[in-house]
Structure 1
């Protein structure tokens, strides 16, 4: 079996998608907060967003971030934000965008994790799917065209709005910095995919 080489730039993209997915799948524990605190940035918009996330992570305690996560995404009845493509695109949960995603998942050999009970169109799962496609977790690494198609259909139309909402949410402190990093990263991806047209 031959191993396909993944370009360093693509591996870094996949790593950042995975990182966002990890932070949005559940509240980070002390180890993940420490990893966030150890990140460094640069003068780019994404670098500055990462540096801000690092500073906020240094000042954050796991129990505080758990309360923040619960207020944002779980709440009593529902959280402040509903991080699902169906909700952002139609105003309702479990709608056509979820059905379309499930169909595309089958075609790409992507299966739902057995320990995950949320609809597959949640932001954390979509970030993880994109990372997996880039590095070949579901078979061969997806071509740039396949990545662009998946992104344009399932992530691009709404993820930037979600990340902006996360930045501005009243219960957002640590997650405001995650929102900024996610929004800036989505802008970078949008522009990169536009340039491949």
Structure 2
């Protein structure tokens, strides 16, 4: 914590990081047909968009309103059609088996060979190991999956808040905006278009809120 920063301000920002990371990561990481995120989707279907946008941290209110309105629309659509459209959109964007239009891993964009488990994955893995941080999931997904880094930000905000700024500056913000722009452009279902938009604007707001100077890498995709 900076010497000039009040403890209450610091704690409030950590609570906000935890909220954003916990709320959004579940939707990136879980197929909506499995039941794992039924509660979150029901909450989105019942959302008061204006009230939620007014309170959403790190995001400009108009951008938050537009993104949350899309997620609300998509969640209502899921209730109306039984979830088939959302299920197949999730698999198209995040699972395959076809080539993913915008892969959710940072190294695909920052590694010269555009591969998973590339340079950004290795760097993040080394950073975690040096600080005694264990993976939040199994070994199937590279650590620089957009859903995993959001979940990691939430975990750090609660368990190791002194590392949040460093984590964001070095291992999330350099590539997340570019990745999320690609995902937002590729998304066809309103829920995922809104999800990628609110994630992008929230992470950008975190950069400003924490006063982070981020070095953007060369993107190969």
For normalisation by structure 2, the TM-score amounts to 0.75
Conserved 8 A contact 2:73-2:190: no
In structure 1, the partner of 2:46 is 38
CA distance in structure 1 between the partners assigned to 2:137 and 2:183 by the alignment: 27
Establish whether residue 50 from structure 1 lines up as the match of residue 68 from structure 2: yes
In structure 2, the partner of 1:166 is 183
SS of the residue 1:42 aligns to: helix
CA gap of 1:195–1:94, structure 2 versus 1, over 3 A, is closer
Question: Highest relative contact order (Cα 8 Å, sep 6+), 1 or 2?
Answer: 2
Worse-superposed segment, 77-86 or 16-25: 77-86
CA distance in structure 2 between the partners assigned to 1:39 and 1:8 by the alignment: 23
In structure 1, the partner of 2:201 is 184
Conserved 8 A contact 1:98-1:119: yes
- 1:5-38 deviation digits (Å, cap 9, x = unpaired): 9824421321211222111002234332112223
CA distance in structure 1 between the partners assigned to 2:12 and 2:187 by the alignment: 37
In structure 2, the partner of 1:87 is 108
CA distance in structure 2 between the partners assigned to 1:155 and 1:114 by the alignment: 18
Cα deviation, residue 89, structure 1: 1.1
CA distance in structure 1 between the partners assigned to 2:139 and 2:117 by the alignment: 15
CA distance in structure 1 between the partners assigned to 2:171 and 2:185 by the alignment: 23
CA distance in structure 1 between the partners assigned to 2:137 and 2:71 by the alignment: 31
SS of the residue 2:193 aligns to: helix
Out of 95, 107, 114, which is 2:130 matched to? 107
CA distance in structure 1 between the partners assigned to 2:127 and 2:73 by the alignment: 38
Cα deviation, residue 123, structure 1: 0.9
Cα deviation, residue 62, structure 1: 2.8
SS of the residue 2:195 aligns to: helix
Cα deviation, residue 195, structure 1: 6.8
In structure 2, the partner of 1:75 is 96
CA distance in structure 2 between the partners assigned to 1:129 and 1:67 by the alignment: 27
SS of the residue 1:78 aligns to: coil
CA gap of 1:39–1:109, structure 2 versus 1, over 3 A, is farther
In structure 1, the partner of 2:164 is 147
CA distance in structure 2 between the partners assigned to 1:94 and 1:23 by the alignment: 22
CA distance in structure 2 between the partners assigned to 1:34 and 1:167 by the alignment: 22
In structure 2, the partner of 1:124 is 147
Query: Which segments of 5 or more consecutive residues in structure 2 lack a partner in the other structure?
Result: 1-6, 55-60, 214-221
For normalisation by structure 1, the TM-score amounts to 0.83
**Count of residues in Structure 1 that have an aligned counterpart in Structure 2:** 188
